[in-house]
Structure 1
Amino acid sequence: MFSRFFQVWRFLLVSASLVGCTESPSGPKAVEGGGHLSWERGTAGLTAAPLEIDNHTGKVVACFVSLAHWYSMDLGSLTAGERITVPLWVEEDTGTVFLLNDQEDRMPLDNMWCGLGGEAWETRAVIALERRAGVAAQPGQVVCAVEGEGLVCR
């Protein structure tokens, strides 16, 4: 499910190493021209906040997240009546919501949505992510259903 994203993510990490990469206890850090880019790894300082998504539409629903302002990652498709659990992590000090890849690199989420299969973008329903600094993260549940002509996920 995440393999294509990991290939792109690894490419970005290798590219960063070409501009001056050092290793830190929390993961690789890249520095370029006085700027600072960092990739932290692991769950230290994070709280698990898994999100369950239930499909109550009677149709196939596909769910996605956007990462790094430009990349959309497929979380999977749910048949009618199916549930998926998205393993989210939250940094409570900042309210930042993350997915972790197979190397436990922290990938901050910009947005999450689900849509009807085959037309996921056109029929998308945005899933609100709690992003409140200083507030304890909690597991969540979202139900996607058809209302009128559209899909809602709340």
Structure 2
Amino acid sequence: MATPENAPRWADFLNPDDETLDRLRHAGRGATSLVAVGTPWDTVGGQWEALAIAPLERGLAALDVLALPFDGGHPVFADLARNELVVLVPAGTAIEGPQGVRALKPGTYLVVPHGPAGGFVAAWLSRPTRGCTRYVDAVRVREAVLVAETRRVKHARAR
């Protein structure tokens, strides 16, 4: 899918503007929570699992491949401490993907953003809508990671 040169991309989150950085720095101690994978919290209800994609840049490139809308209510956040993108997926669908993609299933814990934005450790990039969580398809995420990696390699070889 072709996009205009100046269209926003998920990769733009790698370099947040000064206002965003300031908001995250001053979010306070309650800006993140430790949550057991699969349990309801905040605006995400019901059963869920997650895919953690490292590094963050690679995960954002995969979201660009998916053309996932920024305001679509999909639960996606950056774990800035681990340099990973975390994408919430329906329960029972998170399986290990290509190298750098971890499946987070019940029995594991995750630092998640709390409140409208999150904080400096974990921050929402696309916040779920209360009562209407739109999980991302795990198979599509794993495929997008592979496509993004192929594009990166091709781009590197073209230089």
More strand by share: 1
More helix by share: 2
* Larger-gyration structure (1/2): 1
TM range (shorter): under 0.3
